[in-house]
Structure formats: structure tokens, C-alpha cells
Chains A and B, each alone.
Chain A
Amino acid sequence: MMTVRWGMSIDLDKCTGCGACQVSCMQENNMPIFDEDSDIPKRVTFLDLMKVTNDFQGDKKYGEVQTAFVPKMCMQCSGNDPQHPQPPCVSVCPVVATDVGDDGVVSQIWSRCIGCRYCQAACPYEARVFNWWKPRYQGDFARGLNPDVSVASRGAVVKCTFCSHIWKRERDKAISRGETDINKVTYTPACASACPTGAIVFGDLNNPNSPVFETRLKNDPRAVRMVHSIDQQPENERARRMRIKNYPNPKVYYLSSQKWLRDILSAFQNS
């Protein structure tokens, strides 16, 4: 039984927006690259480097405009109760092509997916992407594909799995060394290992010694979760709401010392 709950924290103060996380993610997970990849709405990418500005309403004056880059991947939602995870996208799949593991990672079987895109409709983070075209790899790119990740066919939904194939590889290595405690296996997803400034940190949310220990993150005034406004509510109001409604409860935390960025990331303002 896994006691580990994988999670991530992204320090936006350290993020330079270089895009290395996105490139490494695409290479690690065999993402096709198309000529028309400026066509963002149909792009196939697990990790989207979003440009966020405080001037989205166009009302800021010269000198007031601020910009940040926010890497956004699947938040591996767990719903209100992490012990019995209920991500918004899992229960909706008509063919059981997606499931949530006991480590909290939401998986997807490319070859089981019928491409109905109901999970895309359910996802509050636009983290799931659909192969609108047949995946093509230019030049020698096809020879450099990662054998641990299957190439999805056209018409299937794909998603970030926190590079769980790397975990499996590390697990197999540990077993071959004679180590059988599955919870001691650690790994680093491609985006975190590629980040040159160490902004993306990955680890076990349950472990107090982990850099992403959840209790510590929840008390960190710099930490917010993306569009998860219930975090800002007082405890009793939070409990009341959670009795009525499931909330995504994502496992990715964003750290920033800039208030405007925390405000805009965490909730809709003035709506």
C-alpha cells in the first residue's frame, strides 16, 4: 500500500519563464510538434506555460503592468477527501480509461480512450488535451522517442501523469537492488528536473521531511492553489461548503511573494 501522495510546489518568484519545463515535458512524454503549434487551442502539450498579467482587463497604466509565467500541468485533483479521491475527470469516463492511483496520481490509458472528451469538459484546469490530428514527428525526432511512454493515436485524450513512468522505472531499479519498500522509491518528473532555477519542487505531500509537506505549504502565506477560492474561506465556512459540494483539491501549490499574482491565481475577483 502506498502511503506517498505525490505533489508539487512551484516558486513563481524563481520562475524565469524560460520554458525548459515545457520542452522537457514534451520530449519525455513523446508529444507531437506541429507546424501550426501557434494554434494554441489545439496544441498537444501536458504542461502549459501560461503568461499571466494583472492588465487582463486593459485598465492598468504604464508602469503598473506586471507579468508572470505560470507553468500549469495536471493538478492531480483529489476531491474533498484525499483518502477516497474523486477527481472531477475520473468518474465521468464512460469506458474506465482514466483512474486515480493510491499515490493520488490520475492516470489515463491512451488505448482505452474513445475520445469522447467528457473528461476535458469536466477538468477545471484545461489540463487534459486531445489529439486533434494524427501525431507526427519531424526528422529524426521519431528515433528519439521515449520507449517508456506509449504514443497516443489520433482521437484520444492524453494528460500529465507526473511522469509516473519514471516512478515505475525507479521502482523496478529498487526491486532489482533488493529494496522492496515501495514507499521509499523517489523520483523527479521531467519538468522539475529540467527547471534551471529549481522553481519546480516535487515530493511527498504526506512526509514532514519532504520539501512539499502539505501541512507546511497550507500554512505558508506565499502559497496558493490555482483557482481554488475555498482556501481563502474561514474554517467553518469551508466545512459548510464541502458538505454541499466537492472541490477539486489540487496537489500543485504555487508560491509567490507578489500579492497581485496570488490574488489572480487563487480566485476570481470582483465577479
Chain B
Amino acid sequence: MKTIIEFIKNEWNSFSKNTKIALAVLVSLFALFVIFAIQILFWGLGYTDMNNTFAMGLWIIGDLGFVALGGGAFFTGFMLYILRVDKLEPLINSTVLIGFMCYLFTFVLLVFDIGQPLRAWFGYAYPNWGAHLMPQSMLTEVVWCLTFYFLVLCVELIPIPLKHKILDKIPVLHYTGHYLHRLMWIMAAVGTFLSFFHQGSLGGGMWDVLYGKPGWWRAHHQLFFLAIVAATAGGTCMMIMVPKIAERIMKKEVAPKESFWTLAKISGVMFIFYFVFRIYDVYTMTTQFVPLADRTFASTLGGYYGWTTLIPELLLALVPIAILNVKKLREQENLLFIAVICGASAIVFSKIGVVLNGFSVPLFPWRGFATYMPTIQEWLILFGSIATMILIYMGFAAYLPLFPHLEKHEHHE
């Protein structure tokens, strides 16, 4: 025990002033997260601003955002292990860790979001399967796919800590890590399959089947496939953005520039698909789907969350299209950074739009658009989750071989 305290003390003293401030803020957010978590879990969701009109809120936006951005892990894994884009190798550890944390905290937020957390296992015990064992409820599919993909991410993550200098010297752990790594293409294939489906169902399919709601309903699972494309586009941006931030903080090159550029190129192409698909989505909503309920698409875009989320989403999506698809531009450090931030934000805006606007669209002609203002509990549970994710990432970056390139680099020095 004494040695651990001594170690923490020594580490703390070795940090710079800025790191100390950052750590203090993050740990405080985590502490507030724990306090409000206890309040919500023991006294219920009455402390949120969700209500019978706005049945879901900030946490479900967090879930949708985490899963979509964490979805970059499945797509990068697919590119590296299945399509053999070997240049992505130096980024894969960071990618897997971000994916793992995003999915972990999706579960955490889901536990807060359901009114009966102790009955969370009902999703496995009484799943709503339809004919031919096809899931009838989109949430059933989400629960099962998320669980299995999370297990896959665990297996993908294990070799990273096992490569630590001390652990690697133990033969059993060395060989376990080695063979797990050899099997990674199977994990990547399974992960791609699972992630493909729940990306679609949580981000899109869950909403486009609600035929009673003109703000959401679309035929042919249009939003389902749109959400998959969104995850591949926004997720890859996230997988560039996080190591880039780490690079700026650590003032070291964490991965070769070519790796970032390759992933940026893929992301740029996916954003073109996303933008075209989203425009098609808006077009079909305007001409086909909303008119079936004798309303106009424009009339469902009022309130605080209609145009105000759609327009920024489309504008932000244009930035990565313009920058990441041009070799000269994406190879400029600052432009690349701006493009990936805009890309990830575009996808987050799309999720905000889906959830908030969908709930705010009035159901009765004599009603106006509903509004929602998250309470301090909702904000701090979300920010506390993000702070915890940052802390875990910092821990991995500082003590484990998160960036193999960095280690090689240091070795040469």
C-alpha cells in the first residue's frame, strides 16, 4: 500500500502545472458523476427534465453519439484487418481503446436512462424476438449487438496492456497476447458484422420504425443505413481527432503522418457518401414520407431543434468533404485538425437533431413544439462519463503501449 501511495505521490510531483489542473478538473467531474449517479439510481428519473412528452433526452444523445463515434473502431479494424490497409496499424491501439470506452459508457448511460436499472438483464432474459429469430424490437437488437461487440472490443483491447514492458516478460502473457493478436482479423470481421447492425439500429432504425411519429418515420429503413454511413464517416474523424489532441498535448508525434492521412482520406470519402445520402434523406422526407401524415417536412422542423440542428449538421459535414478529399489540404496539420473536429461535430449534431427534434414535433394540432432543458444531474452524468473516458485514455497513453510508433521512436533516440 505504502509503495502505491509513494508511486502516486512521485507521479503527481512529476506532472507539469497544466497536467495537474487538467487532472484536478477531470477527477472533480468524476466525483460529481458519482454523487449524481447515486441520486439518480436511488431516487429516480424525476430529477431529470425528461417527461412524458420528452421521454428521452441528453443521455440518449450521448449514447447515440458515443456509439456513432466509437463506431470508427469497427470501421478502422475492418480497413486494417480485412482490407489490409497496413498504414493504419500505428493507430489501431488508440482506436480500439476509444471504441471500448465509447461502448462501455454507452452501457453506463443506458443504465441511468432506464427507469428500472435492476431489471436491465430482462433484455437478455426476455428478448423481443419475432419470426425466424429476427429481433422484433430495435432495442433488443441494440442490446444484443452492443453486448457482443463490447466483448469483441474487450478481446481486442487485452493485447495492448499485455504488451507492457513488465507483463511482456511473462511467457504465458506474452504468448496469449501474441496469439490473440494473430486472431484479430476474426475479431475484426465479427466486430464489423455486429457493429454494422447496431450502428444502424441505435442511430437510425430505432427511430425510423416509429410509424406514428411523422418526425421520425421513413420507409425502407432509410435512417438505419444513413446511421451506418454516419458512423463510418464520423467515427473515422474521431479516431484521428483524439490522437491528434494527444499529439498536441504530449508535443510528440504519436503516429506516422501517413497513417493519419490514410484514415483522413477514407473519412473524406465516407463524408461524401454521408452528405449525398443525407440530402437524399431530406428530399424523400419532404416529398414522400412526411406528406403521408398530411404534414410538411418544413412544419416538423420548427421549434428550437429543427432547422437549428439540420443546417449546422450539413454545413459541418461540408468541411471534411472539402478538406479531407484534397491531398494538399489534408496534409496541412491545422486544416486536418479542423476538418476532423467538424466531421465529428456534424455527426453529433445529426444525433441531437434526431432525438431532440423527433420528440419536440407536436403530436396535436393545438400544441406547440416541446422544449427540453437538461438538469444539472443530466449534464454532470454526461460530462462525468466523458471526463472518465479522458482519464482512462490519459492513463493508457502514459503507462501502456498505446502508441507503438512513439515507443519505437523513443527507442531510436
**Which residues of A come within 8 Å of B, CB atoms?**
41-43, 50, 52-53, 56, 77, 88, 91-96, 112-118, 120-126, 128-134, 153-157, 226-227, 229-230, 232, 241, 244-248, 264-265, 267-269, 271
Whether A113 lies near B116 (C-beta < 8 A) is yes
Chain B minimum-CB-distance residue to A246: B211
Of A52, A96, A120, A132, the contact of B46 (CB 8 Å cutoff): A132
Whether B116 and A156, one on each chain, are in contact in the complex, defined by CB atoms closer than 8 angstroms, is: yes
Q: Is the CB of A121 within 8 A of B46?
A: no
Q: How far is the CB of A4 from chain B (nearest CB, A)?
A: 25
CA A96 to CA B140, docked complex, whole Å: 10
Q: Are B212 and A248 in contact (CB under 8 A)?
A: yes
- The answer to whether A120 touches B55 (Cβ under 8 A) is yes
Q: Which of B27-35, B75-83, B359-367 contacts A (4 or more CB under 8 A)?
A: B359-367
Interchain residue pairs A-B with the least CB separation, the first 8:
A115-B115, A155-B115, A124-B212, A41-B51, A94-B139, A120-B55, A229-B294, A88-B212
Q: List 9 A-B contacts (CB under 8 A).
A: A96-B128, A113-B115, A115-B45, A126-B52, A126-B363, A132-B45, A134-B44, A227-B363, A268-B295
Q: How far is the CB of B218 from chain A (nearest CB, A)?
A: 10
Q: Given that A112-B122, A134-B44, A267-B365 are contacting pairs, would A153 and B116 also be in contact in the complex, using a CB cutoff of 8 Å?
A: yes
Chain B, interface size: which category? 35 or more
> Bound complex: CA of A126 vs CA of B360, how far in Å?
12
Taking Cβ atoms with an 8 Å cutoff, the residues of B that contact A are 43-46, 50-56, 113-117, 119-120, 122-123, 125-128, 130, 136-140, 142-143, 206-207, 209-213, 217, 219, 292-296, 299, 358-359, 363-368
Q: Which residues of A contact B46 (CB under 8 A)?
A: 42, 132-133
Contact of A123 among B43, B44, B212, B368 (CB under 8 A): B212
Q: Which of A96, A116, A128, A264 contacts B114 (CB 8 A)?
A: A116
- CB pair B116–A271 under 8 Å, yes or no, is no
- B contact residues around A227 at 8 Å (CB): 363-365
Q: Which residue of B lies closest to A153 (CB)?
A: B116
Q: Quick check: B115 and A129 within 8 Å, CB to CB? A: no
Q: Cβ of B206: which chain A residues have Cβ within 8 Å of it? A: 118
Name the A residues within 8 Å of B367 (CB-CB): 56
Question: Which chain B positions have C-beta within 8 A of A117?
Answer: 50, 55-56, 115
Measured CA separation A41–B53 after assembly (Å): 6
**Whole-angstrom distance from the CB of B137 to the nearest CB of chain A?**
5
In the assembled complex, the Cα of A176 lies from the Cα of B128 at a distance in Å of 36
Give the CA-CA distance A222 to B292 in the complex, in Å.
24
Given A52-B366, A94-B137, A114-B116, is A154 in contact with B44 using a C-beta cutoff of 8 Å?
yes
With contacts A227-B365, A229-B294 known, is A92 near B123, CB below 8 A?
no
Nearest chain B CB to A228 CB, angstrom units: 10
From A125, A130, A131, A134, give the contact of B363 (CB < 8 A).
Answer: A125
Q: Is the CB of B55 within 8 A of A112?
A: no
Q: How many A-B residue pairs have CB under 8 A?
A: 164
A125 to B130 alpha-carbon distance, docked (Å): 25
**A93 and B128 contact, CB distance less than 8 A:** yes
Residues A245 and B217 in contact in the complex (CB < 8 Å), given A95-B126, A154-B115: yes
Closest to B211 in A: A246
How close is A17's CB to chain B, nearest CB, in angstroms? 15
Chain B residue at minimum C-beta to C-beta distance from A119: B55
Max count, chain B CB within 10 A of own CB: residue among A96, A128, A247: A96
Residue of B whose beta carbon sits closest to that of A226: B364
Q: Which residue among A122, A153, A267 has the maximum number of chain B CB atoms within 10 Å of its CB?
A: A122
The majority secondary structure among interface residues of chain B is loop
User: Which B residues are in CB contact (< 8 Å) with A53?
Assistant: 366
Question: Which residue of B123, B212, B293 contacts A122 across the interface (Cβ within 8 Å)?
Answer: B212
Q: A95-B126, A132-B51 are in contact. Are A124 and B363 (CB under 8 A)?
A: yes
Tell me if A121 and B55 are in contact (CB < 8 A).
Answer: yes
Residues of B within 8 A of A247 (CB): 211
Tell me the bound Cα distance from A51 to B344 in angstroms: 44
Distance (Å) between the CB of B116 and the closest chain A CB?
Answer: 4
Which residues of chain B are near A95, meaning CB under 8 Å?
A: 119, 122-123, 125-128, 140
New contact pairs (14) apart from A95-B122, A115-B45, CB-CB < 8 Å: A93-B137, A113-B116, A114-B119, A115-B115, A116-B139, A117-B55, A121-B55, A126-B53, A130-B52, A132-B44, A132-B46, A227-B364, A267-B294, A268-B295
Q: Is the CB of B294 within 8 A of A268?
A: yes
Q: Are A155 and B53 CB-contacts (below 8 A) given A114-B122, A124-B212, A132-B44?
A: no
If A41-B54, A114-B115, A117-B55 touch, whether A245 touches B211 (CB-CB below 8 Å) is yes
B residues in contact with A43, CB < 8 Å: 52
Report the nearest A residue to B113, measured CB to CB: A116
Whether the pair B140, A94 counts as a contact (CB closer than 8 A) is yes
Q: How far is the CA of A270 from the CA of B299 in the complex (A)?
A: 10
Interchain nearest-CB distance for B130 vs A (Å): 8
Decide if A114 touches B114 in the complex (CB within 8 Å): yes
A248 vs chain B, min Cβ distance (A): 5
- Bound CA–CA A88/B143 (angstroms): 20
In the complex, what distance in Å separates the CA atom of A241 from the CA atom of B359?
Answer: 24
Quick one: closest A residue to B122, CB to CB?
A95
**Which residue from chain A places its CB closest to the CB of B298 in the assembled complex?**
A271
A129 to B51 Cα, complex, angstroms = 9
Contact B211 A92 (CB under 8 A): no
Q: Which residue of B lies closest to A133 (CB)?
A: B46
B130, B363, B364, most chain A CB atoms within 10 A: B364
For B359, what are the chain A residues with a Cβ–Cβ distance below 8 Å? 121
Contact indicator A112/B126 (Cβ below 8 Å): yes
Known pairs A56-B366, A155-B45; A118 contacts B139 (CB<8 A):
yes
